[in-house]
Structure 1
Amino acid sequence: MSARNPLVKGVDVDSRTRCSHYHTEVDIVAIKFLCCNEYYACYYCHQETASHSASKWPQDQWNEQAILCGNCQHELTINEYMSTSNCPQCDSRFNEKCSNHFHLYFDVTNESS
């Protein structure tokens, strides 16, 4: 467990990082945005409350800790997060439908030609 509890910004964020947009039992992941180095509960929270546009994490930075488990505050790298459906620290289940939104946070385009 992390010794610190990063601030998670957003709209009506609860103690497990759920927000007004995503608030089911498994919506317990916050994303650190590359553009501001701040955790937000979701893309829409960033869009509504930040004073700037979001930028996506490039693939060469996917080893950065940028994912926060809302249950235990453990920080995961983007690669770790993209390859699991549970927190490696507390085993809490993450929403598997979040992978549908990876393109909002991470540069998932394959630009190799």
Structure 2
Amino acid sequence: MTGVRVLGRTVDDETRCVHYATPLDVIAIRFACCGEYYPCHRCHAECADHPAEQWPREQRDREAILCGVCSSELTIERYLEVDACPNCSAAFNPGCRLHSAYYFQA
């Protein structure tokens, strides 16, 4: 992984954390509130000193998703369109869509 700092309780270099550590859990999200990358909403809740904020819908063109496999940064819009990294083809966990309300306004 590149020098992008991922905060939280990560368990490997592909951004898996103590909460989500399947082979498909290879992304980190830059949080709108602080601009820091965390593997998941639970890591942010445990480690940040402030509440999480969702990315506004009108900012979906911002790079806020980090592929833990190749370290590519994706825009929110692109991430929501794909099931795998468009740069290295690493599959993303489809279950993450269940948590999108934690990160992005509908």
Tell me which interval the TM-score lies in, with the shorter structure as reference length: over 0.9
1:1-113 superposed matches below 5 A: 4-108=2-106
Which of the two has higher C-alpha Rg?
1
Q: How far is the alpha carbon of 1:39 from its aligned partner?
A: 0.2
Given residue 93 of structure 2, which amino acid in structure 1 is its aligned partner? Answer: N
Given residue 103 of structure 1, which amino acid in structure 2 is its aligned partner? Answer: A
- Unaligned 5+ segments in structure 2 are none
Equivalent residue pairs, number:
106
SS at match of 1:66: strand
SS at match of 1:82: helix
* TM-score between both structures, scaled by the size of structure 2: 0.96
CA contact (8 A) 2:33 2:52 kept: yes
2: CA distance between counterparts of 1:51 and 1:13?
Answer: 21
Percentage identity across aligned positions? 46
- Unaligned 5+ segments in structure 1 are 109-113
Provide the aligned C-alpha RMSD in A: 1.2
* TM-score between both structures, scaled by the size of structure 1: 0.91
Given residue 28 of structure 1, which amino acid in structure 2 is its aligned partner? Answer: V
